[in-house]
Structure 1
């Protein structure tokens, strides 16, 4: 069984027009949302063992926001190729860089993340799949499971969408997170 975590970077800042797109940091909302996603990952026992992260500033800051909530050993690799162009081939990149990972996370950009998530999700909650198709907001995290042991065996529609977490759906009161339940759904009250 393989698990793939697809995390879009959190909300970035456009306040400094002199910055190149690659160098844009997170804005205040992004700085709040990244750790929030990390806490939900911890509460639901979602633990990647390898992270492939775009080398853009906003993805590195997003990754830094979730890392304090992760447990166990996690190897990290920054990849320029996850940023380059409008639509990197995420599937090829993950197959080339997964190594011995069973729980791989990619921290990247849209539309590439949304495209691969939709391409791979062959089953799961139809409502979550539709939400993911319609919009993959900043700091959204899709978790897909594959009933195989080798990343080279995954293909279109071979994944099961286990969860699709969006910051706006997380309860404002973090104490409402039910740690005992590994995959509850959290909604704003």
Structure 2
């Protein structure tokens, strides 16, 4: 019988809020592209991910234009991923729905980036971070603006991921 400690695998989850988009009055919400500042900030997020040596096995992205463009600009600036999935369940999702999406992640994916929206992305970061992450948690609960990203590490299989069990290792607000 396998030792349960042999099954523990370090996993990384990056929660990236989309970069600044054009105003909502200008067109249907799903079609809103990034504003010029958003394109610069998304590229800066990509540079930060590359500098931090975070290479995603999988990116889970909302199908909204602004989230798709956020990943596109991040990738063009150095962020990388083995695969990208666009999932409608991420669009304007709350933490419970985002956890359902994460439960469908293949077991061999060790690093996952979710590109989504507020309030779901900030709330999920706060819910997943363990109490030992209190100092970093304070910063993200005070403000989680566009292009903000949280890096959380945990040892649970994706279907078992639950609140208060991840360690918040980084919280940054990349600006281009």
Tell me which of 105, 116, 126 is aligned to 2:124. 116
Partner of 1:151: 158
Could you tell me whether the CA contact under 8 Å between 1:10 and 1:58 is conserved in 2? Answer: yes
Give runs of ≥4 in structure 1 deviating > 6 Å: none
Change (3 A) 1:78 1:88: farther
Structure 2 unmatched runs, 5+: 1-9
**How much is the aligned-residue C-alpha RMSD, in angstroms?**
2.0
- Give the C-alpha shift of residue 125 in structure 1: 4.8
Structure 1 unmatched runs, 5+: 173-189
Spell out, residue by residue over 1:90-127, the C-alpha distance to the aligned partner (whole angstroms, 9 max, x if none).
Answer: 11111113452100110000111111110000045533
Three-state SS of the structure 2 residue aligned to 1:167 is coil
**Where do 1:19-34 residues align within 5 Å?**
19-34=27-42
Partner of 2:5: none
Spell out, residue by residue over 1:67-91, the C-alpha distance to the aligned partner (whole angstroms, 9 max, x if none).
Answer: 13134x5111001111156666111
Aligned length: 166
Partner of 1:4: 13
Spell out, residue by residue over 1:41-82, the C-alpha distance to the aligned partner (whole angstroms, 9 max, x if none).
Answer: 1111111110000000000000001113134x5111001111
Whichever structure has more helix as a proportion of its residues is 2
Could you tell me whether the CA contact under 8 Å between 2:93 and 2:120 is conserved in 1? Answer: no
**Where do 1:31-180 residues align within 5 Å?**
31-68=39-76, 69-71=78-80, 74-84=82-92, 89-123=97-131, 125-148=133-156, 150-168=157-175
Change (3 A) 1:137 1:151: same
Change (3 A) 1:50 1:86: closer
When normalised by structure 2's length, the TM-score is: 0.86
Could you tell me whether the CA contact under 8 Å between 1:23 and 1:58 is conserved in 2? Answer: yes
When normalised by structure 1's length, the TM-score is: 0.81
Three-state SS of the structure 2 residue aligned to 1:97 is coil
Change (3 A) 1:129 1:94: same
